[in-house]
Amino acid sequence: MQKRSIEHVVLERGEVAESWSRLYDSLTLHTGKHMSHLPGMRFPSGTALFVTRDRFLEYLHEYRRRFALPVESNSEVTSLERENGHWRVGANGQTLTAKAVVVASGIISNPRVPKVPGLDEFRGEVRHSITYRRPDEVRGKRVLVVGAGNSAGEIASELGREGIDTTVAVRSGANVVPLQILGIPIQYLAWVIRSLPRPARAVIVAAMRKMTELRNGPPVLPRPAVGPLDAIPLIGFRLVDAIRNGSVKLRGGVERFTATGVVFADGTEEPFDVVLLATGFRAALGFLGPLVQTDERGFGMRRDRVVSTDQPGLFFVGHNYDATGGLTNIRRDAPLAAEAVKNALSRT
């Protein structure tokens, strides 16, 4: 927006980088630093290849300072309405008027919590993984982690390494890929092959899977119905290794809760004190109400990656996710959205 001389303001529900600051302490980006920066500012030399959460927080604050971004903190958007060719934006009891709106509200503030029978009967603690910070919170307790995504894998393996009684419940399986191949982050390879025809990419993925099995043995986790080309895979072998060495136990999907634990899909019942739901997120679009349609993953329907198909003057950043990583897609979509806004304003 600055490069295109477009007057704008950034409405932030909390403080800059607040969502990232709430993630678990041990978080380290799966994408290498070369694919984890935002437009116009790379990480300085000497930064580790895989950036820690704390280092990324420093980067985001420095990014705001360097570009003097017009961020209004503690400005939660509660409503968005189209009126006479403009947008009326409700935030903290005030109303702003804008010719265009870019929705970049992410997913972290909208955790997905599945409805499981018996949840009201369970006398233990049920939390979404977004609330987890460190192992000390659950030390001495029997913990069930539900899910097979990257957060589930990292949290469960961390708890297992700390000697905490940990079980992971996996209903539909996971595609597991290495964090690196010959020292090259897997996302870099995904970026290189992204433009190849699908059959060619499928052959490469199959060869990687074969190489992984020859090196690490047969898969520990069941394979899901969709392959790694169609869903974000579980990156790295920490969870697999933890299951193999016995520090984390593997069970199937959760069928229902009981007063003291859960019953799994195979009919077995086990007691737990804490259940961490690593069950993902949906796009945070509540303030849009019925103004837009969403796809099967909850993202706004759009064309050209960033332009709303439902409303004029509405654009999205952060609604494209694939194996190259969310930050890579944000870096790709930000200039597209800015250019689309410029073109839209030129027509008004």
H, E, C per residue of 73-94:
CCCCEEEEEEECCEEEEEECCE
Q: Which pLDDT belongs to residue 249?
A: 98
Residue 3 belongs to some domain of the structure: no
* 216 and 321 housed in the same domain: no
* 204 and 225 housed in the same domain: yes
* 211 and 98 housed in the same domain: no
Q: Which pLDDT belongs to residue 269?
A: 97
Q: Which pLDDT belongs to residue 231?
A: 84
Residue 197 maps to which CATH number?
Answer: 3.50.50.60
Last residue of a domain, one of 256, 277, 298: 277
Measured CA to CA, the distance from residue 46 to residue 62 in angstroms comes to 16
* 292 and 253 housed in the same domain: no
Measured CA to CA, the distance from residue 323 to residue 316 in angstroms comes to 19
What are 172-229's pLDDT values in tens digits?
Answer: 899 999 999 888 999 999 999 988 999 999 999 998 888 888 877 888 998 888 888 8
Measured CA to CA, the distance from residue 164 to residue 143 in angstroms comes to 8
- DSSP line for 105-171: --STTSB-----TTGGG--SEEEEGGG---GGGGTTS-EEEE--SHHHHHHHHHHHHTT--EEEE-S
Residue 5 belongs to some domain of the structure: no
Residue 191 belongs to some domain of the structure: yes
What are 213-238's pLDDT values in tens digits?
Answer: 887 788 899 888 888 888 889 999 99
Last residue of a domain, one of 277, 307, 327: 277
CA distances from 199 to 181, 233, 336, 344 (A): 21, 18, 29, 38
Residue 242 belongs to some domain of the structure: yes
Count CA atoms within 13 Å of residue 19 on its CB side. Answer: 11
Q: Which pLDDT belongs to residue 221?
A: 92
Measured CA to CA, the distance from residue 297 to residue 314 in angstroms comes to 19
Q: How far apart are the first and last CA of the chain?
A: 17
Residue 114 belongs to some domain of the structure: no
* Residuewise pLDDT in 10s, the chain (348 residues): 999 999 999 999 999 999 999 999 999 999 999 999 999 999 999 999 999 999 999 999 999 999 999 999 999 999 999 999 899 999 988 999 999 999 999 999 899 999 999 999 999 999 999 999 999 999 999 999 999 999 999 999 999 999 999 999 999 899 999 999 888 999 999 999 988 999 999 999 998 888 888 877 888 998 888 888 888 899 999 999 999 999 999 999 999 999 999 999 999 999 999 999 999 999 999 999 999 999 988 999 999 999 999 999 999 999 998 878 899 999 999 999 999 999 999 987
Last residue of a domain, one of 221, 242, 277: 277
Pairing verdict, β 71-72 and 77-83: unpaired
70 and 10 Cβ atoms separated by less than 8 Å? yes
* 141 and 246 housed in the same domain: yes
* 124 and 222 housed in the same domain: yes
* 259 and 297 housed in the same domain: no
Q: Note down the domain range covering 190.
A: 119-277
The one-letter code for the residue type at 316 is F
How many C-beta atoms lie closer than 10 Å to residue 241's C-beta? 16
Residue 4 belongs to some domain of the structure: no
Sign, CA dihedral 14-19-20-25, equals: positive
Measured CA to CA, the distance from residue 184 to residue 193 in angstroms comes to 14
Q: Which pLDDT belongs to residue 218?
A: 86
* 247 and 317 housed in the same domain: no
Residue 236 belongs to some domain of the structure: yes
The residues near 76 (Cβ < 8 Å, ≥ 6 apart) are 11, 13, 91, 92
Q: Which pLDDT belongs to residue 67?
A: 95
The residues near 311 (Cβ < 8 Å, ≥ 6 apart) are 82, 291, 292
* 99 and 127 housed in the same domain: no
* 77 and 96 housed in the same domain: yes
Q: Which pLDDT belongs to residue 131?
A: 96
* 88 and 143 housed in the same domain: no
Q: Which pLDDT belongs to residue 204?
A: 92
The one-letter code for the residue type at 205 is V
Which residue from 173, 323, 149 is spatially nearest to 238, judged by alpha carbons?
149
Residue 89 belongs to some domain of the structure: yes
Q: Which pLDDT belongs to residue 93?
A: 85
The residues near 151 (Cβ < 8 Å, ≥ 6 apart) are 24, 129, 278
* 94 and 175 housed in the same domain: no
State phi, psi for 143 to the nearest 5 degrees. Answer: -115, 135
Q: Which pLDDT belongs to residue 15?
A: 92
Total domains, the chain: 2
Measured CA to CA, the distance from residue 163 to residue 332 in angstroms comes to 41
